[in-house]
Amino acid sequence: MAYTGINMENVKSKNLASILKLLNTSGPMSRKDIALQLGLTPATMTMLCAELLNEGILVEKGEIPQGNRAGRRKILLDINYEYRYVLTVSIELPMTSVSICDLRGGHCTIKQLLTDCEVPAEEFLRRVADTSKVLMWEAGIHRSQLLGAGVSVPGPVSREDGVSHRAYRIWDEPVRVTTCLAEFLDCPILLENNVRAFAQAELIYGMGKRQENLVFLKWGPGVGSAIIANGQIYESKAFKNAEIGHVRVEENGALCRCGRRGCLETRVSTHPLAHRMQQLCSPETTPQLWEIVEGDPSRITVHTLGNALRAEDPALWAMLDEEIGLLANVTGSILTMLAPDHLILYGDMFKLPHFKDHFIAACKRYDPYYNEQYIVVSELSDKIAYIGPLAVVVSELFYQ
């Protein structure tokens, strides 16, 4: 076989990406320390850093104090996180969030609009694009300053084609999301499943910088999951995600939105929980809940769960603990099989009164090792409206 040589442009690109990833993980460093970490020669390091500085991708942060030591002073380098901005779109129920933020998720400006499932997908995406344009104008961000746009949706997606195959409760049919938005937004657009996008964010901005094997559990209004193994997000070639919400827990259970019967989501997602609370609510069985809803169980909806759960009726929490225990048992089985470093929790249900504590208690009954040190709430929970789509764009268009 003929020797084809080394593609120096590929080597250079990989070295540039390695510098950026190292600075993202470790924070500001000197040229010498970066070179030692990556095994680069001083000459190569000088050339690469000069290019990144000239492009405005890196910035000098000042000298490292060295006391009375002689020799050349070390100057810290860091990523210029305002080098470009990212437009993010998180399509969820009941609201869709649109934001503009820098490469680290700072200086974030957000607008929200109702996720309208009654109109054609193309019409709704036009509204999203219009909202995006207004947001960019108000923030003073020109399209030339955009690195790209990231979009996250529930359910299975084909990232290469930019197609949402079934965004549960939003679109029942495949939607060419990136094609629709490309008609209105003049920038690269990337689509990803919402839970996988959040896992990508954890790799770049959260615990994934320190741990290589993680399982994510999102609860509310549905149940989603993602797996990080050896620092990589698991995905199959059939564009299917690690869908914990669609593990079957009842052989002849209720029909799930995915088309199968007896899925975990038919028991523990917000709609069936609200329905069961309505059925249970009475002055005799749940007097506190009855008083909160002023004698009208129909007031218990997915939007009022937080208020309703102020009730501490034993019968109410016995029912809820049964469902929380079911979720904990399925989760515990997955943790036993995969043995990740941590289970990361996020989502609105874990923010409701007592839910996180009851869930961890149920996991500890499954295995005492699954305690508060092992099961942790994501450091990024307060950024859920935008951090996932941001990470998808930054990962593909900046760090690579």
Give the CATH number, domain containing residue 342.
Answer: 3.30.420.40
- How many folded domains does the chain comprise? 3
pLDDT at 67: 56
Token pair of 270 as six digits: 């917000």
Q: Which amino acid is at 30?
A: S
Q: How far apart are CA 226 and CA 243, in angstroms?
A: 8
- Which DSSP letter does residue 65 get? P
Asked if residue 125 and residue 168 are part of one domain, the reply reads yes
Asked if residue 388 and residue 374 are part of one domain, the reply reads no
Return the residue matching tokens 């950026």.
20
Return the residue matching tokens 């029912």.
319
Write down the mean pLDDT value for the chain. 91
Which sign does the torsion angle of CA 192, 257, 336, 362 carry?
positive
Asked if residue 249 and residue 142 are part of one domain, the reply reads no
Asked if residue 108 and residue 49 are part of one domain, the reply reads no
Digit-coded pLDDT (tens) for 163-198: 999 898 899 899 999 999 998 898 999 999 999 999
Asked if residue 239 and residue 363 are part of one domain, the reply reads yes
Look up the pTM and report it. Answer: 0.88
3 found inside a domain? no
- Tell me which of 52, 79, 106 is where a domain ends: 79
Within 10 Å of residue 294's Cβ, how many Cβ atoms? 7
Q: Using the predicted structure, report yes or no on whether residue 20 has a pLDDT greater than 80.
A: yes
Digit-coded pLDDT (tens) for 376-395: 999 999 999 999 999 999 99
Asked if residue 221 and residue 191 are part of one domain, the reply reads no
Digit-coded pLDDT (tens) for 317-373: 999 999 999 999 999 999 999 999 999 999 999 998 899 999 999 999 999 999 999
Q: In which domain, by residue range, is 138 found?
A: 85-203+384-397
The answer to whether 380 and 344 are in contact (CB under 8 A) is: no
Asked if residue 232 and residue 174 are part of one domain, the reply reads no
Asked if residue 180 and residue 56 are part of one domain, the reply reads no
The answer to whether 183 and 226 are in contact (CB under 8 A) is: no
pLDDT at 238: 61
Q: Which amino acid is at 357?
A: D
- Tell me which of 59, 79, 99 is where a domain ends: 79
Q: Compute, in degrees rounded to 10, the torsion defined by CA atoms 327, 330, 335, 337.
A: 180
Asked if residue 339 and residue 268 are part of one domain, the reply reads yes
pLDDT at 340: 96
60 found inside a domain? yes
Asked if residue 336 and residue 266 are part of one domain, the reply reads yes
pLDDT at 290: 97
Q: How many helices (H) and strands (E) does the chain have?
A: 13, 16
Q: How far apart are CA 92 and CA 94, in angstroms?
A: 6
Asked if residue 150 and residue 123 are part of one domain, the reply reads yes
265 found inside a domain? yes
Asked if residue 349 and residue 223 are part of one domain, the reply reads yes
pLDDT at 237: 66
Residues in CB range of 372: below 8 A, 6 or more apart: 360
Q: Compute, in degrees rounded to 10, the torsion defined by CA atoms 190, 193, 196, 200.
A: 20
